Structure 1
């Protein structure tokens, strides 16, 4: 049963213990956050980036939303800010502080069907973890505000760069702490860093393609990933019944 929302805000619930029913193919779901669980790049992160660069990098190129998403896809946000926007390490710390303040006042919405999917998954015995480039407190805030089940472990931007996604360190840590084998885990992500992370740890990967219709991203995912889903409903069908899109 999915807990209800009251007055538009999420209520707190205790997750059920793992059920003793039929074993799940993927008892551990490792989720990206932005544009996988919540619709955040178009509504939060890109507007913040555009506002910040207009104020502090007025001579820098003005990127479109599609260009911004593509740069996050490859080479990745750190390399994009450092290599193309030409931010120094101090600039990036300043941008992060600006972004952190911005997101305190902007809560992204979970995709339709995601809340029901995650509650059904944990109530069936599944374990949820998050590996993201957002900060962990913001991820947990988004989960609370959207009425989503609290993840078991969260690895966010605060993780040292040398251990941050796309490095596979978070997946190895989940294996060690929660005692899952690589084949028992499934990474769900919309961008290449998540794919690279999963591949490095030999963990199955599913591409979340419901956040945009950018041809370059979809072509890469469909050409390299065995599991690609255009809607949350398609992913749900696969997770619970093995039906591929």
Structure 2
């Protein structure tokens, strides 16, 4: 058979655990929170918040994102008004535009091999589609489909089910054909609603306090990109 113009043998096609993977962007494919998103938060706090405001640590940032979300945190803890939230958003976008994260070592090779064997790659992230495309363009690679975050249509991204349901329809897939690879709860919530396997990753810096939560939630958890690659490509017997 062919896949994107390349011949793929039946043996190669069968040597992937899932026909499609839905991968998170930040801290799953790209090492971005410690280098971009968290520093953007720190900058806003230093410039706009009262001097006595207690900023989250990097670990606390991940805990907040696991148990809640940034908009709730901004409203209930930071006490930002709608206008202040807009200012924070534009400061974050400006920061994201200036600082580009690196892909985790080995992740590009994993994606290329998964695709070579006939796999379908989707990205579902709370980063915007243009930021995701820009990050991947540095590596001369793009996923088949991107489900990025939109302030106008949040229901089209995780934790809502639209990305997986759309992927199933687009590529004629069943739930068993798909795995969600992520480091935070919104992706896993989406996956569980759709009956899709959850694969956790904790190789990014700052996940220490939520490792247990990830392990309890997911079918498998990996602390190295190599371990994830070996599992998805069925190079191990697990």
TM-score past 0.5 threshold: yes
CA contact (8 A) 2:31 2:103 kept: yes
Runs (5+) with no aligned partner, structure 1: 1-13
Q: Secondary structure at the match of 2:200?
A: strand
Name which of 20, 27, 32 aligns with 2:24: 32
Q: Report what 2:8 is aligned to.
A: 19
Q: Is contact 2:181–2:200 with CA below 8 Å preserved after alignment?
A: yes
Q: Give CA deviations for 1:210-236 in whole Å, capped at 9, x if unaligned.
A: 113544311111122121111000001
Q: Is the 8 A contact 2:168 2:174 kept in 1?
A: yes
**2:6 & 2:215 partners in 1: Cα distance?**
35
1:96 maps onto 2:89 in alignment: yes
**Aligned twin of 2:36:** 44
- Contact 2:28–2:182 (8 Å) recurs in 1: yes
Aligned to 1:200, the other structure's residue is in SS state: helix
TM-score by length of 2: 0.89
* Cα distance, 1:80 vs structure 2: 2.0
Counterparts of 1:223 and 1:193 in 2: how far apart (Å)?
15
Name 2:50's counterpart in structure 1.
58
1:134 to 118, 127, 131: 127
Q: In 1, Cα distance between the equivalents of 2:38 and 2:130?
A: 20
For this pair of structures, how many residues does the alignment match?
A: 231
8 A Cα contact 1:19 1:125, kept in partner? yes
Q: What's the counterpart of residue 170 of structure 2?
A: 177
Shift of 1:126: 0.9
Q: Distance in 2 between matches of 1:172 and 1:18?
A: 28
Distance 1:209 1:150 in 2: 23
Q: Could you tell me which residue of structure 2 aligns to residue 157 of structure 1? A: 149
Residues 90/171 of structure 1: CA separation in 2 closer, same or farther (3 Å cut): farther
The 3-state SS of whatever aligns with 1:39 is: coil
**Alignment correspondent of 1:117:** 110
Correspondent of 2:99 among 100, 106, 120: 106
Match of 2:192 in 1: 199
1:166 aligns with 2:155: no
Cα distance in 1 between the residues matched to 2:237 and 2:56: 35
Task: Tell me the alpha carbon deviations over residues 54-84 of structure 1, each in whole angstroms, 9 at most, x when there is no partner.
Answer: 2222353222111112112221223222322
CA distance in structure 2 between the aligned counterparts of 1:155 and 1:88, rounded to whole angstroms? 28
SS in 2 for 1:67: helix
Does 2:80 align with 1:87? yes
Q: CA RMSD in A?
A: 2.1
State the secondary structure of the residue aligned to 1:146. coil
Give 3-state SS (helix, strand or coil) of 2:10's partner. Answer: coil
Deviations along 1:149-174, whole A, 9 cap, x unmatched? Answer: 31111111216123331112211111
Which residues of structure 2 form unaligned runs of 5+?
none
> Shift of the alpha carbon at 1:50?
0.7
